[in-house]
């Protein structure tokens, strides 16, 4: 009889929107846990969270929190990851980082299991989870990349407010009520940036996610561009992105134009996607069936539809890609990686 190895696990950002989903998934999937440590800032230290039927107390995350931790999942922002991950690694923990802190570090694998799980074997204590908008796009495009090659991608995103954290969800709800009650909506959080200018999110569309860079793109757009090239292992890929916040609570949607390197058959494209791991094909225009944010919310998969050959370029196609940004875009991708580390694969 084989005995399963159990792990001391820490979740940093346990009180946040992503941390909550990580805890739910670890419990639901019976992750092999010896002990669980819930970490946050000093603000939430002392909060009680129920995990696998036990009430655990949240502790403030400090460099010493990682003594005896085997696997640490970080989703408390880039600054926290930069400050604490080196200590966690020094204490021997394998860190799965949901933030931008180490994604482009050449020593750190940037992993979407369906695309490049082979990369994790080279980790040096840190494995980075890509940005949510990147994850769902590369998961859907990988089968096409492998079969035909991809030369160019043009993506426009329609991102849910939950991508900006629990406070942004509250902001959309509050503003929607204010407007429906006939009052002015008071902008407070979005767009999240260091500048004091804020915009109404309810009944609006904001073409800014994260701060602007010197080249006129936002950081979210640059994350998509750089991360996609790193994950695909292809610096020659031409990519442009426009990232937009929409008044949706869960699931990011993306309109993606892709130029392939070879001629293709649209039926074969659909079959490839229907058979791809983690992808659900929803493409039945006759019956008005296509991926919807509301249907993807709460699901781990990436949903793809509206697949059609481009009218201006016969080697290009257009797709609509939708996935729950807190799940495949963050928590589920991280838990998948944790399972690859912890559980011997068949
Ligand atoms: P959130 O709902 O605002 O939660 C933030 C979490 O971080 C809370 O648990 C908070 O604890 C904790 N935290 C904040 N400052 C801290 C500190 N100094 N030390 C320790 N913990 C601290 O945000 P979220 O949506 O869960 O996102 C959290 C982070 O995950 C983001 O900043 C981002 O880096 C990453 N993320 C990644 C993706 C992705 O695309 N893969 C998607 C979403 C988020 P308190 O309760 O004490 O404030
Ligand atoms: O806004 C979204 O929809 C996704 C946001 C992701 C995010 C938010 C704050 C900080 C990130 C990220 O994952 O890239 C970060 C960050 O880690 O820098």
SS (H, E, C) 159-204: ECHHHHCHHHHHHHHHHHHHHHCCCCCCCCCCCCCCCCCCCCCCCC
Cβ-proximal residues to 346 (8 Å cutoff; 6+ apart), any chain: none
The proportion of the chain whose per-residue pLDDT surpasses 90, expressed as a percent, equals 95
Spatial separation of the C-alpha atoms in residues 156 and 244, rounded to whole Å: 7
Cβ atoms of 254 and 221 closer than 8 Å = no
Does the C-beta of 327 come closer than 6 Å to ligand 2? no
Q: How confident is the model at residue 4, as a pLDDT?
A: 85
The overall average pLDDT reported for the chain is 96
Q: What average pLDDT does range 279-289 have in this prediction?
A: 98
| Residue with CA nearest ligand 2 atom 11 | 99
Average pLDDT over residues 326-337: 98
Q: How many angstroms separate the alpha carbon of residue 305 from the centre of ligand 2?
A: 25
Look at residue 295 and tell me whether its pLDDT is greater than 80.
yes
Going by alpha carbons, the residue nearest to atom 37 of ligand 1 is 98
Q: How confident is the model at residue 194 (pLDDT cuts 50, 70, 90)?
A: confident
Quick one: average pLDDT of 127-136? 98
Ligand 2 in reach of 87 Cβ (< 6 A): no
Q: How far apart are CA 182 and CA 178, in angstroms?
A: 7
Domains 7-130+330-342 and 134-325 in one fold: no
For residue 182, the model assigns a pLDDT of 97
pLDDT digits (tens, 9 = 90+) for 139-168: 999 999 999 999 999 999 999 999 998 899
Quick one: average pLDDT of 117-141? 97
Residue 346 reports pLDDT greater than 60: no
Q: What is the pLDDT of residue 195?
A: 84
CA nearest ligand 1 atom 13, residue: 76
Residue 3: pLDDT band (50, 70, 90) is confident
Q: For residue 60, which ligand has an atom nearest its CA? A: 1
- With tokens 């580390």, the residue in question is 341
> By C-alpha distance, which of 342, 340, 328, 333 is closest to 69?
342
Interatomic CA distance for residues 140 and 153, integer angstroms: 12
Angle, helices 132-148/266-275, rounded to nearest 10 degrees:
120
The architecture CATH gives domain 134-325: 2-Layer Sandwich (3.30)
> Rounded CA gap, 316 and 261, in Å?
9
Residue 239: half-sphere exposure toward Cβ, Cα within 13 Å: 27
Domain residue extents for the chain: 7-130+330-342, 134-325
What pLDDT does residue 201 have?
97
How are beta strands 252-260 and 150-159 bridged, if at all?
antiparallel
- Round to whole Å and give the CA distance between 173 and 300: 24
CA 115 from chain centre, in angstroms, equals 14
C-alpha 184 – ligand 2 centre gap (Å): 28
Q: Could you say which of 87, 95, 132, 243 is catalytic? A: 132
75's tokens: 């989703």
Q: What's residue 60's pLDDT?
A: 98
pLDDT at position 263 is 97
Backbone phi and psi for residue 124, each to the nearest 5 degrees, phi listed first: -115, 40
Dihedrals φ, ψ of 128, to 5°? -95, 140
Instruction: Give the pLDDT confidence score for residue 8 in this predicted structure.
Output: 98
Encoded tokens for 227: 């991360």
Distances (CA, A) of 233 to 110, 146, 316: 10, 12, 21
The question of whether 252 is a catalytic residue gets the answer yes
Phi and psi at residue 67, in whole multiples of 5°? -55, 130
**What CATH architecture is 7-130+330-342?**
3-Layer(aba) Sandwich (3.40)
**How far is the CA of 193 from the CAs of 75, 137, 164, 211, 220, in angstroms?**
18, 25, 11, 6, 12
Q: Given a cut of 90, is residue 277 above it in pLDDT?
A: yes
Model-wide pTM > 0.95: yes
The pLDDT of residue 1 is above 70: no
Pairing mode, strands 150-159 and 279-281? unpaired
Containing 295, the helix (H) or strand (E) segment is helix 293-296
The 10 Å Cβ neighbour count of residue 117 is 15
Q: Dig out the tokens for 69 from the structure.
A: 């931790």
């Amino acid at each position: 009889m084989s005995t399963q190895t159990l792990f001391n696990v820490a979740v940093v950002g346990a009180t946040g929107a992503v941390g909550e989903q990580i805890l739910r998934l670890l419990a639901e999937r019976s992750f092999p846990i010896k002990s669980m440590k819930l970490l946050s800032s000093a603000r939430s230290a002392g909060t009680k969270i129920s995990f696998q039927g036990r009430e655990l107390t949240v502790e403030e995350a400090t460099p010493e929190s990682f003594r005896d931790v085997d696997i640490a999942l970080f989703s408390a922002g880039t600054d926290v990851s930069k400050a604490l991950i080196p200590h966690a690694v020094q204490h021997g923990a394998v860190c799965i980082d949901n933030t931008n802190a180490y994604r482009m570090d050449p020593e750190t694998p940037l992993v979407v299991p369906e695309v490049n799980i082979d990369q994790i074997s080279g980790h040096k204590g840190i494995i980075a989870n890509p940005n949510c908008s990147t994850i769902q796009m590369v998961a859907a495009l990988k089968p096409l990349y492998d079969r035909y090659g991809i030369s160019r991608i043009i993506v426009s995103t329609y991102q849910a407010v939950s991508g900006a954290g629990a406070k942004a969800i509250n902001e959309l709800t509050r503003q929607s009520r204010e407007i429906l009650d006939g009052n002015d909506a008071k902008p407070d959080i979005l767009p999240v940036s260091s500048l004091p200018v804020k915009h109404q999110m309810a009944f609006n569309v904001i073409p800014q996610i994260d701060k602007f860079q010197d080249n006129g793109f936002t950081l979210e757009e640059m994350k998509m561009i750089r991360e996609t090239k790193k994950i695909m292992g292809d610096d020659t890929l031409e990519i442009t992105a426009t990232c937009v916040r929409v008044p949706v609570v869960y699931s990011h949607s993306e309109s993606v134009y892709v130029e392939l390197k070879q001629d293709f058959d649209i039926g074969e494209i659909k079959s490839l996607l229907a058979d791809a791991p983690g992808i659900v094909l929803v493409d039945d225009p006759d019956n008005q069936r296509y991926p919807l944010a509301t249907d993807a919310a709460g699901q781990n998969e990436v949903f793809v539809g509206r697949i059609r050959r481009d009218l201006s370029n016969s080697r290009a196609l257009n797709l609509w890609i939708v996935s729950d940004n807190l799940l495949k875009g963050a928590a589920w991708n991280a838990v998948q990686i944790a399972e690859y580390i912890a559980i011997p694969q068949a």
